[in-house]
Chains A and B, each alone.
Chain A
């Protein structure tokens, strides 16, 4: 089989470097064929392999006595008593949303929801953290409109309430908006399901939508490269979402898990079937042989590599004992979901792709996943950061608040009227906040509160970032975001349980960009250790750059907390006239990175706020 490409070697067209090709040769002991090369290219993409971030992510604190599943699984899971557990994760869908805002955002919601119910949890809430450029620019308006409609269109239809998040405008996101979505699910601990393929002889069942040419190379081509003028031509790499299909998948999957019918479950996202079979096999120390001809397709004439790396949405891979196959197919049939046995678990540790008698690919599962290439990137602090002017330099007044607004009343009015602090009702009214009948607090509150039926408990969730501070000091920005997010959860009366994160940065091959990432991970780790919070999962999004530059370093943090007795919830402030307002903590100087500085500009003595974690 050959893959037609523009001039030049195939591996480069697929996004692999010459050194990476050599590493593939080393692992196989031979040259890969075109199909194998395509499979490596998606699995060794930054998006799937975390090849640049893995060494640093390993420094984060991940354990805690209640942690049931941590990084490496589809979502973090923490026990909350009564035999229950919460699954949660934050993930990006930035590049697809820049190219095709509605579908990019919609499939971002679909992908993170699948991560949750794959663990055996029913998704109960979504939060979205959205970052865009200047709100008055026509392109920004187009993106905001499409992304908000996409998040709502998907979440509303599947019936998971969108209960919070944040919407931030900053010029650095103009060409590269950020769409980070957090999802939360509730499960009975006994239903916790792993994304593994144990038991040679077990069957690999693909169920959900059929496989088409949508999203070919999304992981490698779109998510793992910077934006340039050619990005519009990458629109076909964006997947198309079908929330109705997802809703059926949720119900069928939870029924399969509840009935004890599956040995392992994995959703299909980036890198499609290739990723699902190699990750599940590698986690269990097994292999899987894939019968290419058995994959249900929605298009004719698909090449083997297209079938193997397609990112068609709303698909799941279940590992099933042969004697339970009939029961699995019955459940899928009742929900009118196509299902097919596409492979078998083996004991040889290999991912083999066969068509008829012919073997098309033969790769050790580990070579695609746990033993994928790792890059130790160069890191060096930028020669110049976007910080305060040097002492003695003239002030740089912003035009949002002339004369740096010394009149407190005028400052207040300018702040509450600014794009970053104004009402979010235009967004939140497009999101169903109350479906599920668990929503106690949602919308523009800084944390969402969801009661747990049948108990006195409630889950509390928030997501925050401090990208404007991180512009000045990425370590501080990440640590501040953890502190803010944990505080937002704690002020409801809840005990923060754990942290998820989505780290959005520029090109890791540039030492300055990588330094920002490294500093942020250090800040995240130090803050989590200081607060005693485990990091149970997350996502890294690199290459958030356009020809005009990189985005502000954005470590988006998500925290989930537990209120043992919802009766003790602390509600909104300012409830009655005459109540006293008490400021707790010291208010020191530290205007750099603030909403005020965004309006009024920086003065020579402005520094980022201090943090005593």
Chain B
């Protein structure tokens, strides 16, 4: 499994994502935003941060970075893409996942530990998460208030494309519609989520639940590789 973590100017969770992917056993490297080449990555991570300062609107400039064309092609071929926090905002601006991330309902930056319910476990992002297990992860953002018109939310839910929701007792930190914390694209291979699994990948940091997300990805990639190998042998 090869993981490429995109570095936009202003990304600040790039090295955290690299570290977590390596802990999960993946070969990982940083990808510079100006180079439209994913270096053979199976999984592309768009990390958290403030790409281009996010002075205009979060993610709105980063979607025009040269590497985003390659990310789009990768997704179109069924490649795995994980956008975390600012990465989710970039994915939403690029139209690779549905919805928009508005200012938090509190109108303040919110850093806190939240609990996520896992809505599906049959995805490459969640397959290693034990049944019934909720994830304890930190959020840290000013614009994480997930928005989509009601009728589109109905469709999203009907198609099982809500992957994570904020759960009690901590609950919804930002006013997101229907407590949505993470969503999938139509093909189920691109995921955007606001909380930070990469910052909760070791027990010493308060939680290692986030590592389950990276393990899921490594295991699904390994399974896909061996399935391909088996197909070649057959």
Contact = CB atoms under 8 A, between A and B. Distances in A.
Contacts, number: 87
B178 interface: no
A184 to B, nearest CB: 17
Interface residue tally on B, bucketed by range: 20 to 34
A555 to B, nearest CB: 30
Contacts of A435: 12-13, 16, 48, 140, 199
B134 interface: no
Contact of B53 (A157, A429, A451, A566): A157
Interface string B198-226: 11111011100000000000000000000
A30 interface: no
Nearest to A440: B204
Nearest to B210: A437
B196 interface: yes
Contact of B140 (A158, A432, A440): A432
Contact of B16 (A153, A436, A451): A436
A244 B55 contact: yes
A149 B50 CA distance: 16
A158 B12 contact: yes
Nearest to A569: B204
A29 B204 CA distance: 63
B147 interface: no
Interface string A124-167: 00000000000000000000000001001100111100000000
A248 B12 CA distance: 10
Contacts of A23: none
A152 B141 CA distance: 11
B201 A156 contact: no
A434 interface: yes
Contacts of B112: 429
Contact of A248 (B9, B200, B202): B9
Given A432-B109, A435-B48, A566 B204 contact: yes
A156 B204 contact: no
Contact of A243 (B19, B50, B109, B200): B50
Nearest to B23: A437
Nearest to B18: A437
B110 interface: yes
A430 interface: yes
A434 B196 contact: yes
Interface in B147-192: none
A434 B111 contact: yes
B87 interface: no
A434 B138 contact: yes
A248 B198 CA distance: 22
A306 to B, nearest CB: 26
A336 interface: yes
B204 A451 contact: yes
Interface of A: 149, 152-153, 156-159, 242-245, 247-248, 335-336, 428-440, 451, 453, 566
10 contacts: A156-B142, A157-B54, A158-B12, A159-B50, A429-B108, A429-B111, A432-B109, A433-B138, A434-B196, A437-B198
